[in-house]
Amino acid sequence: MAAIIKMGGKQVTVNEGDTIRVEKLDNAPGETVKIESVMAVIKSDGAVFGKPFVQGAAVEAKVVAHGRGDKITVFKYKPKKRIRIKTGHRQSFTELKIDKIITA
């Protein structure tokens, strides 16, 4: 069974046992998070799609760790103006392990 969830403005397809990275959450490592913004539930006999979310469906996940992603370089350049700006960015994330998908 799989589900499509919406977290942090992004849609993610998850299965039971998967580990995913989402936008940083305030929960401590080891806590359980219940995600109720399930957009679709996909079973072997068919799929159920919500408008926009499936009523009564949820995904339970456990917070594994918090971290920061790899550094990316942002370079802004304006020709003929002597403007060159080089900065970096590291996005914070929360790693979740999907425990179970609950359907209505």
What is the chain's pLDDT, residue by residue, as a tens digit (104 residues)?
Answer: 999 999 999 999 999 999 999 999 999 999 999 999 999 999 999 999 999 999 999 999 999 999 999 999 999 999 999 999 999 999 999 999 999 999 97
Concatenate the DSSP letters of all residues of 57-101 into one string.
Answer: -EEEEEEEEEEE---EEEEEEETTTTEEEEEEE--EEEEEEEEEE
Radius of gyration of the chain (CA): 18
Number of structural domains the chain divides into: 1
- The whole domain housing 34 covers 2-102
- What pLDDT score was predicted for residue 104? 72
pTM reported for the whole predicted model: 0.84
What phi and psi values does residue 55 have, to the nearest 5 degrees?
Answer: -70, 130
Angle at 75 between CA 11 and CA 25, to 5 degrees: 35
Tokens of 9: 């403005």
pLDDT at 9: 92
